[in-house]
């Protein structure tokens, strides 16, 4: 079946895709296994990504960035990382670019931009976003990490968990309750910096998939954070989080389609070559039907996601549209990788086959960035009275 031609990317985008993919193939893919075993990517690869312009494509040139405020570039990076099967190694960079940096670009004052953006573009300062706590994830309003004003600083106490780039990060955007009586209006965002007294890293968590991604616990004991490290206005943290979630969720859908597409590609290759009962596995009616269903659904997902990317680039993608994209596509991704693994038989369960890793890496997609259930709540709320 022919694929629909994709029309959302121009020649500049495609040139960027080629150079980013070549870098992934040469510098990341060959080390992926080693980093997966180590449970972390080395900081050197961040520095190299920075040098080549893969970090901060949207950061203004005066701070050393690419100066191109165009999410197409972020989407391309997400697509290539997903297609190359190296999500564990490169997920931290797409998070740094498209989840963390938008907070700085939208909220940081001039001093903060000068202080942090050049290092973030060079890969010298690695970013993270810490919302989730041991006792609260979906229910963001349940955040307990507290900030109490003391002179010109805030004293922060609490803990976070499941934080992507948790070990490597130098700058952590941290959600803090600064007014216990103000409900949703009682949150503020602070930048916690590596080395601040009382800011400790906990375990690098042992996950089902994405092993090269450091996902860690963080703890804060009487950390004195100067007022200059508050991002945006006091009490506006919740609003800022909600504003940035649309792009975060779209990115997961963008990657989800590409993982599904790659899984289908590997499976077609495998089932066309593997023989049973005197014929290729792909020739059984069940295989053909399963492959046909997957190819069709992936195509439908791609068209929807492309439209979402276009709308997002025009500043028109709604929270509900991105939530719908996130839950539908990531659920599809999980269905596809599971069916593809089944079509590989026992080899699909072997780590040396990319489908095994894709299956493990994909499982988180319907959970982080807001679970499928929370996404359906968001969409459902907009439909009902
Ligand atoms: C690998 C990984 C990386 C992550 N990276 C980050 C990060 O960088 N920064 C960060 O802040 N967080 C991060 N997270 C945390 C992630 O966003 C949360 O795990 C997620 O939001 C779910 O929260 P929870 O784990 O507390 O689950 P819970 O909220 O406890 O949910 C448990 C179950 O209950 C369901 N549920 C909850 N509320 C409702 C409801 N109202 N209606 C119906 N069902 C409901 C959920 O859908 C889920 O099925 C990461 C998690 C992982 C595993």
Cα of 323 vs centre of ligand 1, distance in Å, is: 14
Q: How far, in Å, is the centroid of ligand 1 from the Cα of 29? A: 29
For residue 372, the ligand 1 atom closest to its alpha carbon is 47
- Residues 120, 245: Cα–Cα separation, whole Å: 21
Closest among 87, 128, 121, 97 to 213, alpha carbons compared: 87
Q: What is the span of the domain harbouring residue 174?
A: 129-235
Q: State whether 301 and 245 are in the same domain.
A: yes
If you measure from the C-alpha of residue 139 to the centroid of ligand 1, how many angstroms do you get, rounded to a whole number?
8
- Same domain, yes or no: 256 and 369: yes
If residue 47 lies in a helix (H) or strand (E), which one and from where to where?
helix 43-51
pLDDT number for residue 37? 96
- Is the pTM here over 0.75, yes or no? yes
2 lies in a domain?
Answer: no
pLDDT value of residue 233: 97
Domain boundary among the residues 185, 208, 235 is at 235
CA 75 to ligand 1 center in whole angstroms: 23
Report pLDDT for 335.
Answer: 98
Q: What is the mean pLDDT of residues 204-221?
A: 98
Q: What is the DSSP string of 328-345?
A: HHHHHHHHHHHHHHHHTG
Q: Tokens at residue 286, please?
A: 């069940």
262 and 153 together in one domain? no
Same domain membership, residue 325 and residue 257: yes
Tens digit of each residue's pLDDT (9 = 90 or more) over 116-159: 999 999 999 999 999 999 999 999 989 999 999 999 899 999 99
Q: Write the pLDDT tens digit of every residue in 329-382.
A: 999 999 999 999 999 999 999 999 999 999 999 999 999 999 999 999 999 999
Ligand 1 atom with least separation from CA of 160? 11
- Predicted local confidence at residue 340, as pLDDT: 98
In a domain, 1, yes or no: no
Domain count, the chain: 3
Q: What is the CATH number of the domain that holds 218?
A: 2.40.110.10
Q: Mean pLDDT score of the chain, rounded to an integer? A: 97
Q: How far is the CA of 241 from the centre of ligand 1 (A)?
A: 15
- Residues 172, 129: Cα–Cα separation, whole Å: 6
Helix, strand, coil shares of the chain as percentages rounded to 5? 55, 15, 25
* Residue 300 belongs to a domain: yes
210 and 255 belong to one structural domain: no
Nearest ligand 1 atom, CA 207: 1
Q: What is the pLDDT of residue 324?
A: 98
Residue 197 is predicted with a pLDDT of: 98
User: By alpha-carbon position, which residue is closest to atom 11 of ligand 1?
Assistant: 131
The answer to whether 147 touches 187, Cβ cutoff 8 Å, is no
| Catalytic one of 36, 193, 217, 248 | 248
**Beta-bridge partners for 157:** 146
Q: Same domain, yes or no, for 104 and 169?
A: no
CB distance 157 to 220 below 8 Å: yes
pLDDT level of residue 278 (50, 70, 90 thresholds): very high
193 in a structural domain: yes
Give the residue, out of 36, 132, 144, 323, with the most ligand 1 atoms within 8 A of its beta carbon, to mutate for a pocket test: 132
Out of 183, 212, 235, pick the residue that ends a domain.
235
Residue 361, SS3 per DSSP = helix
Q: No. of H helices and E strands in the chain?
A: 12, 10
- Tally of CB atoms within 10 A around 276: 11
- Domain co-membership, 278 together with 313: yes
Q: What pLDDT does 379 receive? A: 98
Res. 276 pLDDT band, cuts 50 70 90: very high
Q: Given this model, what pLDDT does residue 159 score?
A: 98
Is 302 within a domain?
A: yes
Are 213 and 256 within one domain?
no
* Confidence class for position 42, pLDDT limits 50, 70, 90: very high
Q: Residue holding tokens 């029309």? A: 7
Residue 220 lies in a domain: yes
What DSSP string describes 14-40? HHHHHHHHHHIIIIIGGGHHHHHHHTS
The whole-number pLDDT of residue 111 equals 98
How much distance in Å is there from the Cα of 385 to the middle of ligand 1? Answer: 26
The residue whose CA is least distant from atom 29 of ligand 1 is 138
Distance CA 315, CA 145 (A): 32
pLDDT on residue 352: 92
Q: Whose CA is nearest to atom 50 of ligand 1?
A: 162
Residues 148, 133: Cα–Cα separation, whole Å: 18
Percent with pLDDT over 70 in the chain: 100
The C-alpha atoms of residue 304 and residue 297 are separated, in whole angstroms, by: 11
The Cβ of residue 138 has, within 10 Å, a number of other Cβ atoms equal to 12
- Is 248 designated active site? yes
16 lies in the same domain as 33:
yes
Domain boundary among 212, 235, 258: 235
Atom of ligand 1 nearest to the CA of 131: 11
Nearest CA, atom 52, ligand 1: 162
The predicted structure's pLDDT at residue 155:
98
Is residue 5 in a domain?
Answer: no
What end-to-end distance do the CA atoms of the chain give, in Å? 42
If asked whether residues 90 and 140 sit together in one domain, one would say no
Atom of ligand 1 nearest to the CA of 99: 8
Residues lining ligand 1, Cβ inside 6 A: 129-132, 137-138, 162-164, 207, 215, 364, 367-371, 373-374, 377
CATH number, domain containing residue 31: 1.10.540.10
Evaluate whether residue 6 is within a structural domain. no
pLDDT for residue 333:
98
> In which band, very low, low, confident or very high, does the pLDDT at 249 lie, cut at 50, 70 and 90?
very high
Strand partners of residue 148: 155
Over residues 50-74, the pLDDT tens digits come to 999 999 999 999 999 999 999 999 9
Q: What confidence score (pLDDT) does residue 34 get? A: 97
Q: Are 54 and 48 in contact (CB under 8 A)?
A: no
- Confidence at residue 195, expressed as pLDDT on a 0 to 100 scale: 97
Residues 104 and 183 grouped into a single domain: no
253 lies in the same domain as 302: yes
């Amino acid at each position: 079946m022919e694929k629909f031609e994709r029309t959302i990317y121009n020649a500049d985008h495609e040139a960027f895709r080629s150079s980013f993919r070549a870098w992934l193939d040469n510098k990341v893919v060959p080390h992926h296994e080693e980093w997966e075993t180590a449970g972390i990517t080395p900081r050197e690869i961040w520095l190299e990504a920075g040098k080549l312009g893969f970090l901060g494509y949207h950061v203004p040139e005066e701070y050393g960035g690419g100066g191109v405020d165009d999410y197409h570039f972020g989407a391309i990076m997400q697509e290539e990382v997903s297609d190359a099967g190296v999500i564990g190694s490169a997920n931290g960079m797409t998070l740094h670019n498209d989840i963390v940096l938008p907070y700085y670009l939208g909220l940081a004052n001039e001093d903060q931009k000068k202080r942090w953006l050049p290092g973030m573009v060079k890969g010298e300062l690695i970013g993270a976003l810490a919302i989730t706590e041991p006792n609260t994830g979906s229910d963001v309003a349940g955040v307990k990490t507290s900030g109490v004003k003391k002179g010109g600083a805030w004293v922060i106490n609490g803990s976070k968990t499941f934080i992507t780039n948790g070990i490597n990060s130098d700058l952590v955007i941290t959600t803090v309750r600064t007014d216990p009586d103000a409900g949703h209006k009682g949150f503020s965002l602070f930048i916690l910096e590596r080395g601040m007294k009382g800011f400790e890293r906990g375990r690098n968590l042992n996950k089902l998939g994405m092993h090269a991604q450091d996902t860690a616990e963080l703890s804060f004991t009487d950390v004195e954070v100067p007022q200059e490290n508050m991002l945006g206005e006091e009490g506006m943290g919740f609003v800022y989080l909600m504003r940035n979630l649309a792009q975060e969720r779209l990115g997961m859908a963008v990657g989800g389609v590409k993982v599904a597409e790659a899984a289908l590609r590997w499976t077609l290759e495998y089932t066309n070559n593997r023989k049973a009962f005197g014929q290729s596995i792909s020739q059984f009616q069940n295989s053909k039907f399963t492959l046909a269903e997957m190819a069709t659904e992936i195509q439908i997902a791609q068209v929807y996601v492309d439209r979402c990317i276009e709308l997002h680039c025009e500043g028109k993608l709604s929270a509900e549209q991105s939530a719908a994209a996130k839950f539908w596509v990531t659920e599809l991704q999980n269905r596809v990788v599971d069916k593809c693994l089944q079509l590989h038989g026992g080899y699909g369960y072997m780590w040396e086959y990319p489908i095994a890793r894709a299956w493990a890496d994909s499982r988180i997609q319907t959970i982080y960035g807001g679970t499928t259930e929370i996404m359906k709540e968001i969409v459902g709320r907009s439909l009902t009275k």
